[in-house]
Amino acid sequence: MKILAINPGATSTKVAVYEDEKPLFEEVIRHTAEELGQFERTNDQHTFRSDTIRECLKKHNFDIAALDAVVGRGGPFKPLVSGTYKVNEAMKSDVENGNVQADHISNIGCLLADEIAQPLGIPAFIVDPVSVDEFDDVAYVSGIEELPRVSLSHALNIKMIAKRYARETGKKYDESNLVIVHLGGGISVTAHRAGQMIDVSNANDGGPFSPQRCGQLPVTGLVKLCYSGKYAEKELMGKLLKRGGFSDLVGSDNVVEISSRRKTDAKCDLAVRAFVYQVAKEIGAYASALKGEVDAILITGGIAFNDDIMREIGDYVEWIAPVRIYPGEDELEGLVMGALRVLNGEEAPKDYA
């Protein structure tokens, strides 16, 4: 089976073609701020992103007629259970009409996949979108009835890491209790009980701060800031979600650079130690969601390449359960594996309705 995988990100488009589980080629196409700045909404980038994908395939001399399926990243759609979904008219309509939980570039992954697949008469899929929701009922409740908690996370990479750990240990995912942490531009800390992701720290609304996001804030202080007249709504949202966290604290979102400055820059050292502290606290909270019965703590994402930060987090949480590190993100592989499970008859595709 030859499968094209497409992962649109904030500043890049990742493209890969696999033959079964073997990658034939992978490429990360970088987009400049000037290129993306011409588009007001992420949906407006559809044609631009589509053109770059076709140029990439042409560069690699790949004939799309050889494809058996196309799979794209799924975004913050309405709440969905984990799995592989066929792209259908209802899904495309929701994205095109803005019936989604957030304006994020991952929303158009289904459009990009379907655009290539439909003329070829082959299926287009998404796998474990950002809005995977398997919450326990208590996990939805906040202290304000009008503001229920929402399940948005790096579900694609997190679910794939869970399955990889299961293969490595010989213990089925649906028989395991896991705390899985994605440390990237956004942070997701998640609790998994018997194959269900029962709670997540929504990277936009709480949890630890990240390179660009503010994480949990003092609520009364935030309300005062909103009404201070200092920021318009759009400006403040940008500060919370794109210019918060390390960016606001030390003026950079490059964790490698920040970590290297720790020995000579007390502000950077404090920020990193605070980051480690907040991640560790969140891991402890999600271990509590599993009543302390945790088989392993799995840490993934780009920041997991930083050995010092991983060691410092481990110092806080290794008493809870063994810690395993899976650096980077393998979302392209996760997309392909999800599509293959359907194409090989291992699981049925889910319907988006």
**Yes or no: domain 155-327 corresponds to CATH 3.30.420.40:** yes
CA distances from 311 to 158, 191, 235, 304 (A): 21, 21, 36, 10
Above 90 in pLDDT, residue 168? yes
- In tens, the pLDDT along 111-157 reads 999 999 999 999 999 999 999 999 999 999 999 999 999 999 999 99
pLDDT category at 193 given cuts 50, 70, 90 is: very high
Instruction: Give the mean pLDDT of 39-65.
Output: 95
User: Out of 34-43, 166-175, 267-276, which region has the weakest mean confidence (pLDDT)?
Assistant: 34-43
DSSP string for 170-219: T--GGG-EEEEEEESSSEEEEEEETTEEEEE--TTTSSS--SS---S--H
Q: How many CB atoms lie within 10 A of CB 289?
A: 19
Write down the pLDDT at residue 187: 95
Helix, strand or coil, per DSSP, at residue 305? helix
* pLDDT value at residue 33: 81
Say whether 257 sits in a helix, a strand or coil. Answer: helix
pLDDT at 253: 93
Q: 332: closest CA among 10, 13, 1?
A: 13
Predicted confidence at residue 43, as pLDDT, reads 92
Q: What is the pLDDT averaged over residues 257-283?
A: 97
Output the six-digit token pair for 12: 């890049």
pLDDT at 329: 86
Q: Would you tell me which CATH number, out of the four given (3.40.462.20, 1.10.3720.10, 3.30.420.40, 3.40.50.300), belongs to the domain 2-133+331-343?
A: 3.30.420.40
User: Predicted confidence band at 320 (pLDDT cuts at 50, 70, 90)?
Assistant: very high
Residue 1's pLDDT band (cuts 50, 70, 90): very high
Q: Please, what is the average pLDDT of the chain?
A: 96
- Sheet containing 2-8: give its strands across: 22-30, 12-19, 2-8, 69-73, 124-127, 84-86
For residue 11, pLDDT beyond 90: no
- Nearest Cα to Cα of residue 190 among 164, 151, 218, 225: 151
Per-residue pLDDT, averaged over 325-340, amounts to 95
Q: Residue 10 pLDDT > 90, yes or no?
A: no
Q: Residue 185: which pLDDT band, with cuts at 50, 70 and 90?
A: confident
Average pLDDT over residues 206-219: 96
Per-residue model confidence as pLDDT tens digits over 64-118: 999 999 999 999 999 999 999 999 999 999 999 999 998 899 999 999 999 999 9
Would the CATH topology of 2-133+331-343 be identical to that of 155-327?
A: yes
pLDDT at residue 14, rounded to an integer: 96
Cα–Cα distance measured from residue 1 to residue 92, given in angstroms and rounded to the nearest whole number? 25
For 78-132, the DSSP string reads S-B-SSEEE--HHHHHHHHTT-SSS--GGGGHHHHHHHHHHHHT--EEEES-TTB
What pLDDT shows up at residue 120?
98
Residue 203 has pLDDT above 90, yes or no: no
Q: Are 297 and 283 in contact (CB under 8 A)?
A: yes
As beta bridge partners, residue 73 has 127
If you ran DSSP here, which 8-state letter would residue 43 be given?
A: G
Domain limits, the chain:
2-133+331-343, 155-327
Confidence (pTM): 0.93
Q: Which residues of 303-331 are buried (b: 16+ CB within 10 A; e: fewer)?
A: bbebeebbebbbebbeebbebbbbeebbb
pLDDT exceeds cutoff 90 at 13? yes
Q: What is the mean pLDDT of residues 208-223?
A: 96
pLDDT, residue 244, reads 95
Rounded to whole angstroms, the Cα distance separating 296 from 165 reads 9
